[in-house]
Structure 1
Amino acid sequence: MSEHDDTPHPSTSSEPLSRAIGERYLTYALSTIMHRALPDARDGLKPVHRRILYAMRELKLSSTGGFRKSAKISGDVMGNYHPHGDAAIYDAMARLAQDFAMRYPLVNGQGNFGNIDGDNPAASRYTEARMAAPAEALLEGLAEDAVDFRPNYDGTLTEPVVLPAAFPNLLANGASGIAVGMATNIPPHNMEELVDGCLAMIRDPEIADDALVDLIPGPDFPTGGVIVEPKDSIREAYRTGRGAFRLRARWSTEDLGRGAWQIVVTEIPYQVQKAKLIERLAELIETKKVPALADVRDESADDIRIVLEPRARTVDPAQLMGMLFRNSELEVRFSLNMNVLIDGRVPKVCSLKEVLRAFLDHRRDVLCRRSQHRLEKIASRLEILEGYIIAYLNLDRVIEIIRFEDEPKPALMAEPWKAEGGAIAHLTEAQAEAILNMRLRSLRRLEEMELRAERDGLLAERAGLEALLASEAAQWKQIGTELGEVRKAFGKGTAVGRRRTDFDEAGEVVEVPIEAMIEREPITVILSKMGWIRAMKGHQPLDAEVKFKDGDGPAFALHAETTDRIVLIGTNGRAWTLLGANLPGGRGMGEPVRLMVDLPNEVEIGHVILPKPGEKYLLVSSDGDGFIAPSEELIAQTRSGKQVLNMREGAKTAVCRPVSGDAVACVGENRKMLVFALDELPEMARGKGVRLQKFKDGGLSDAITFTLADGLSWKDPAGRTRTEGDLTEWLGKRASAGRMAPRGFPRDNRFL
């Protein structure tokens, strides 16, 4: 073939790229959905978990037997059934042994299998495992043709398609997984409640969803906690298969005497790592996001004990916990998405009723298959027993044939034998083989009686099984009896079966004001030109001499209290908030404001104010645009602050003053002054505002609010206060140009 020959090779084929990728991705997606991520509704297991339990059964690791190395178990699973990484298999097995992850653990572990702090299990060579009792209940009947088997990945062995599952494991232990385009998340439930629900569905297949939820009121998490989801929301979640449950930690108050107390958390929400929870609580203390919390300690041993100390005795414990529920993983929202494989093939989001129905139908199928298998075994055994009985009735002739015939088996089959009731019978091949294999010690008289008793018992059992297979009602009654045995083994009367998760009302969360946590003391806040801030104790004279760094000097000084929120207004119209109690002391030079808030390098602090409740502020840009803002809208909750006054690039915040009176006076850089009514300005939370004064050139110098009847005052160059009573000449409408300022108006164009 030449170098440039484009003739396709006979073994290659071509197809459009979109179709090729589409088909391959669909194959991958189906494999992920069916063989990796979604559990089967019948036994509640994914393939890896099913293969682990089956491999442990093959290794004869019963719940009462010895342990085997986890490496051996995961190696067998990988080599025989699950050709994936042994680390993934071991992680899956370790989770089955974690009592904080599984409501009814399927594996008994010996060694370090991880903990609730989030630490990983020890390596598989250090740990040992065996099946737990619930796992044996899932596997019961596997040897009785209860389920279908399929070849393993290399065709050398077989594995079960699904386990017989004596209890609804999908709901009992829950499941979670992320497939392609779909996911599942099912919380664990209480076994006795699930059995009650199943029995109710057996009695009434058309039972209402609400009646079912009355029997199964909600999840039962292995780590306990308190569900505070409203009842109606739980009903809707179980009816649709989608929803969420709010789950809180369990806590109580410990009295320390003399009015002191502390909160002790004894149960944390499901799937919350304790170590990360402690870190989050410590972060809340450091950032003062929950000011009522002073300290957190982890005093846990085998049980959970997290101690929370309040900042003050006057704090209400319920209010403190309410704030912690809102700001930490002491409360989580566990989502419900019952997306499961129906009959191992079809992914579907099911309601609670549909999931239980899939389990019950599976149990009926298992019961019928096990009964049919037992009938076949009985038929085979009865055939042998009939042969034995014929041999006892004709014992001398049987011995004679065996002693003297060269081929005793055909002779036994050809001989007409006297049977019970005087009838004549011939032995089958199986009967003749069994007689030839019979031991001499079995020829005693007692053995014949035992054979007849065994035959009669098997005949009675066969009649019972045939009646069972012929009657659907009898089948459901038998299933109910089996579920009753499950309830006896794992119900609320057992140590593992008692309900761990309670229900409660969420209650109102009342935010405790930060001022309630801080002792109220007077301070003097000083901000330097270079942006260093400090708080000196007491109300010092604002003109008192204070030390600054070389090249620095005073910019702002004001009297405040430790409970005050101090608002910094930047030249870019953004507001930041500092708490008086959090300011550095006055012994040194203070600390840079830029370490406390996210203040851009190109922005300077233009104004420092102490907004009081009910106050309003006049905010105006150097372009002459502005509005009136309520004081509470100037307070920011985060380090990044909040944008209050919007302006074009190059403009700056010119005015931020408390509002009083009924009029506004503004003066431009062109020394023209305008007076207009205050009600012409809008009240806004944030924005650009409206034009206060029109300028041909330049911008706004200053603006102030005052009472028109009292006149407008300013200080002349000599420091004397001058009042202009008649302002008729400067009165006008907002956004007009105004007139030249009165004689004697300050040269810096400032009212104050």
Structure 2
Amino acid sequence: MTLHTPPPGDGDRILEEPLTEALSRRYLAYALSTISSRALPDVRDGMKPVHRRLMYAMSNMRLNPEAAARKCAKVVGEVMGNFHPHGDQSIYDALVRLAQDFSQRYTLVEGQGNFGNIDGDNAAAMRYTECKMTQAAMLLLDGIDEDAVDFRPTYDGQDEEPVVLPAGFPNLLANGSSGIAVGMATSIPPHNVGELIDACQLLLKSPEATTADLMQHVKGPDFPTGGIIVESQASMLETYETGRGGVRTRARWFKEEQGRGGWQIVVTEIPYQVKKSDLVEQLADLIESKKAPLLGDVRDESAEDIRLVLEPKSRNVEPDVLMESLFKLSDLETRFSVNMNVLDARGTPGVMGLKQALVAFLDHRREVLIRRAKFRLAKIEARLHILDGLLIAYLNLDEVIRIVRYEDEPKQKLIAAFALTDIQADAILNTRLRQLAKLEEMEIRREHAELAAERDGIQAMLADDRLQWKLVGEGLRAVQKILGVETTVGKRRSDFADAPAVSAEVSVEAFVVREPITVILSEKGWIRAAKGKVDDPSELKFKEGDKLGFIVPAETTDKLLIFASDGRFFTVDCSKLPSARGHGEPLRLMVDIDDKVKIIDVFPHKAGRKRFLASKAGYGFIMPEDEALAFRRAGKQVLNGEAIVSLEIEGDRMAVVGDNGKILIFGMDELPEMPRGKGVKLQSYREGGLRDAMAFTAEAGATWIDAAGRTREWPDWAQWTGKRAAAGKLAPKGFPTSKRFKPK
């Protein structure tokens, strides 16, 4: 037996082909199936196959709004057995979503029992819940039995299912859709049916209307959970023209007074597709992690309606400021991504804008109208054909009776005698004796005249495009009486507001409550913040081998500036510093600071203040402190060279001391003011470099602090005055051996 001889039996089905070709062909088939039969909705009825099959099965079961509800398990079984050969849970999940008024703008299923809630809780098992169709679902199915749409065989060939529903209203945009296919996805927000129909009427009247014209009626989405849409009209116009974009939605809230100056925020509507329980947990986490410093507490007091209570940390905070900070930090504001990727009438996927989607819907409605009219016309023609035969029988009643009574084959005799068809002859022979009365003849003539008039009207409509579009418009106006903005279900839920007038550059830190803190930085770079003032630094605890490096009083609203020996400034928000309950966090997790550099100075930033910076080489300058702010983790390079001194400018004299023990005092006006650089020479050295510096006023005089922490007067400091860049004179008697004005 050779290597390629197929084995006996079914082995002849084994094919030899390259793996890459086999995989690509099979994956392409899977991708096409996912796109066309699972993930993307049809632009005409806005439905995916599972939803369409659910509606058709419930229609076959006569589960109309007036009927009694049936078990969901029965409906799921019908769908799975007859139309949708997939798991029952996926079918039930789709049915549940159609019944949730917080998921669907216009629910298509009326559920009885537990169908889940906005907290994210699941629905009860299908054996416990019951369902039937809503009036909106009936509008989608209107005409399904009148040849309004094409049918195709089901998966097993035992039955037929509709390719698309007649769709009495633009369900694609009304209820929206979302799905992920292979290589593409769709995300369509829900809209208001009344507004969509107004836009359709505009298109029927003026087919050349632009998207901007349509947006005079369809101003934006209408989410089932309400909320405030803050997306600009210009942005939404671009979204509706291209079919891609996004819509920002905020929670609806109001300020509730509590007396004695107290107040709280009550949230009554949350953004679409946000689970309330997850939102409460998210807000609680923000409080615990101190990322929402204005928020004191959050409570869920919801019953039938949503009621989230947000308590401010201080009654002095403005409600608008509190909510602006929470909108930036939480899902109280979300962005709904819009990607109107749908299947057109030929089953081809593509992104459509608002006008394209509405035009496709109107074309579908026209086709449904024409098909229903032709179906009705065929019924009328068939009935008129029978009535014509009955009228012949009434005109020749005696002869008809004779033939029926005496002839062996009355049907054939009737056909031959009066030129009737089989259908007419059968109708005559099936006529009862009591229908031979004179009144019955009059009724037949009246019915014939009415049907003939209706036939002429339908034929005229089928020959006139303008009349067809007029009837499409009249049908949509009838829908508005059921789902329009004047009805309870059709009233707009989402409102519009201008985009917040907060600059994109304003960060959440601008809303931080001002509280005193003490910043503690250890020698090994661990940083933390203690509330209030630390009275006894000796009680602070550090990791083994570590000790206190800097202790700085500040406030939560401050920006902490950290000056490193490589001449860079780093900025850290005091509100984001870890609590002092533990050892804090390594500073290098917050900024990109090298392990080899030393921290020279730590202080809170003060706008408008100036600092003196100097390098080990003895060069320095005055820098506006605002120039030190760095908005990057890498910091901001300010001083060239190895930094050694950072001083706040207080006075009109500058004293410098070198490693050689010589001191030089010169006027502050000899120092240049610059944002960054090397600076000017401060003091001349034969060897060594700058050790320390001090600023003071000539009027107050100079002092230094000895090793014991005592302040020593320096009455004859003027003897050390000279020009900048001079060598200076040896320090006076009693000057610290550390050669510093203040101990480090």
Could you state the TM-score of these two structures normalised by the residue count of structure 1? 0.82
Q: Does 1:593 align with 2:584?
A: yes
- How far is the alpha carbon of 1:507 from its aligned partner? 3.5
Q: Which of 90, 93, 96 matches 2:95?
A: 93
Q: Give the Cα separation in 2 of the matches to 1:305 and 1:60.
A: 39
Distance 1:563-1:382 versus aligned 2 partners, 3 A rule:
closer
Q: Which of 230, 233, 236 matches 1:231?
A: 233
Per-residue CA deviations over 1:661-689 (Å, capped at 9, x if unaligned) read: 789887787889999998678636xxx98
Contact 1:673 1:741 in 2 (8 A): yes
Q: Give the Cα separation in 1 of the matches to 2:687 and 2:415.
A: 126
SS at match of 2:585: helix
- How far is the alpha carbon of 1:318 from its aligned partner? 1.9
Contact 1:117 1:274 in 2 (8 A): yes
Q: Which residue of 2 aligns with 1:321?
A: 323
Q: Give the Cα separation in 2 of the matches to 1:134 and 1:182.
A: 29
Q: Which residue of 2 aligns with 1:193?
A: 195
Q: Which of 635, 641, 644 matches 1:644?
A: 635
Distance 1:725-1:297 versus aligned 2 partners, 3 A rule:
farther
Contact 2:624 2:673 in 1 (8 A): no
Q: Does 1:452 align with 2:445?
A: yes
The aligned amino acid for 1:466 is Q
Distance 1:180-1:527 versus aligned 2 partners, 3 A rule:
closer
Alignment of 1:465-544 (within 5 A): 465-509=458-502
Distance 1:327-1:410 versus aligned 2 partners, 3 A rule:
same
The aligned amino acid for 1:613 is A
Distance 1:607-1:147 versus aligned 2 partners, 3 A rule:
same
Q: Which of 708, 725, 743 matches 1:731?
A: 725
Per-residue CA deviations over 1:235-289 (Å, capped at 9, x if unaligned) read: 2322222222221211122222232222211111111111111122222322333
Alignment of 1:665-744 (within 5 A): 683=675, 702-704=691-693, 706=695, 720=712, 723=717, 726=720, 731=725
The aligned amino acid for 2:493 is R
Q: Give the Cα separation in 1 of the matches to 2:378 and 2:468.
A: 18
Point out the more displaced range, 719-728 or 380-389: 719-728
Q: Which residue of 2 aligns with 1:252?
A: 254
Q: Which residue of 1 aligns with 2:147?
A: 145
Contact 2:623 2:673 in 1 (8 A): no
Alignment of 1:296-695 (within 5 A): 296-414=298-416, 416-417=417-418, 426-509=419-502, 555=548, 560=553, 565=558, 567=560, 569=562, 576-578=572-574, 591-594=582-585, 598=589, 607-617=601-611, 631=625, 642-644=633-635, 655-659=645-649, 683=675
Contact 2:630 2:636 in 1 (8 A): no
Contact 1:575 1:643 in 2 (8 A): no
Per-residue CA deviations over 1:521-570 (Å, capped at 9, x if unaligned) read: 7x777777796978586795x7x975879989973686746667484849
Q: Does 1:220 align with 2:211?
A: no
Point out the more displaced range, 310-319 or 531-540: 531-540
Identity %: 48
Q: Which residue of 1 aligns with 2:738?
A: 748
Q: Give the Cα separation in 2 of the matches to 1:356 and 1:683.
A: 60
Q: Which residue of 2 aligns with 1:165?
A: 167
Per-residue CA deviations over 1:475-522 (Å, capped at 9, x if unaligned) read: 11111111110011111221101111112222323879979975867x
Q: Give the Cα separation in 2 of the matches to 1:261 and 1:119.
A: 31
Contact 1:50 1:163 in 2 (8 A): yes
- How far is the alpha carbon of 1:54 from its aligned partner? 1.0
Point out the more displaced range, 92-101 or 742-751: 742-751
Q: Which residue of 2 aligns with 1:286?
A: 288
Q: Give the Cα separation in 2 of the matches to 1:406 and 1:696.
A: 143
Q: Does 1:82 align with 2:91?
A: no
SS at match of 1:197: helix
- How far is the alpha carbon of 1:435 from its aligned partner? 2.7
- How far is the alpha carbon of 1:335 from its aligned partner? 2.5
Contact 1:624 1:699 in 2 (8 A): no
- How far is the alpha carbon of 1:106 from its aligned partner? 0.9
- How far is the alpha carbon of 1:169 from its aligned partner? 0.8
Point out the more displaced range, 273-282 or 399-408: 399-408
The aligned amino acid for 1:278 is V
Q: Which residue of 2 aligns with 1:422?
A: none
Q: Give the Cα separation in 1 of the matches to 2:431 and 2:472.
A: 39
Distance 1:605-1:17 versus aligned 2 partners, 3 A rule:
same
- How far is the alpha carbon of 1:27 from its aligned partner? 2.7
Q: Give the Cα separation in 1 of the matches to 2:280 and 2:635.
A: 36
The aligned amino acid for 2:322 is L
Q: Give the Cα separation in 2 of the matches to 1:270 and 1:255.
A: 28
The aligned amino acid for 1:500 is R
Contact 1:701 1:750 in 2 (8 A): no
Per-residue CA deviations over 1:204-240 (Å, capped at 9, x if unaligned) read: 1112322211122111111111222222222232222
Distance 1:97-1:596 versus aligned 2 partners, 3 A rule:
farther
Distance 1:539-1:363 versus aligned 2 partners, 3 A rule:
closer
Distance 1:670-1:280 versus aligned 2 partners, 3 A rule:
farther
- How far is the alpha carbon of 1:202 from its aligned partner? 0.9
Q: Give the Cα separation in 2 of the matches to 1:699 and 1:269.
A: 66
Contact 1:524 1:559 in 2 (8 A): yes
SS at match of 1:104: coil
Per-residue CA deviations over 1:440-493 (Å, capped at 9, x if unaligned) read: 443444333322222111111101100110111111111111111001111122
Per-residue CA deviations over 1:317-371 (Å, capped at 9, x if unaligned) read: 2222222222222222223222222214222222211111111111111111111
SS at match of 1:304: coil
The aligned amino acid for 1:335 is S
Q: Which residue of 2 aligns with 1:24?
A: 26
Number of residue pairs aligned between Structure 1 and Structure 2: 720
- How far is the alpha carbon of 1:691 from its aligned partner? 11
Distance 1:431-1:253 versus aligned 2 partners, 3 A rule:
same
The aligned amino acid for 1:748 is S
Q: Give the Cα separation in 1 of the matches to 2:544 and 2:723.
A: 45
Q: Which residue of 2 aligns with 1:735?
A: none
Distance 1:534-1:338 versus aligned 2 partners, 3 A rule:
closer
Q: Give the Cα separation in 1 of the matches to 2:684 and 2:158.
A: 92
Q: Give the Cα separation in 2 of the matches to 1:297 and 1:621.
A: 55
SS at match of 1:748: coil
CA RMSD in angstroms comes to 4.5
Distance 1:217-1:533 versus aligned 2 partners, 3 A rule:
closer
Point out the more displaced range, 603-612 or 173-182: 603-612
Distance 1:433-1:705 versus aligned 2 partners, 3 A rule:
farther
Q: Which residue of 1 aligns with 2:130?
A: 128
The aligned amino acid for 2:448 is R
Point out the more displaced range, 613-622 or 281-290: 613-622
Contact 1:576 1:635 in 2 (8 A): no
Unaligned runs of 5+ in 1: 418-425, 585-589, 733-737
- How far is the alpha carbon of 1:643 from its aligned partner? 4.4
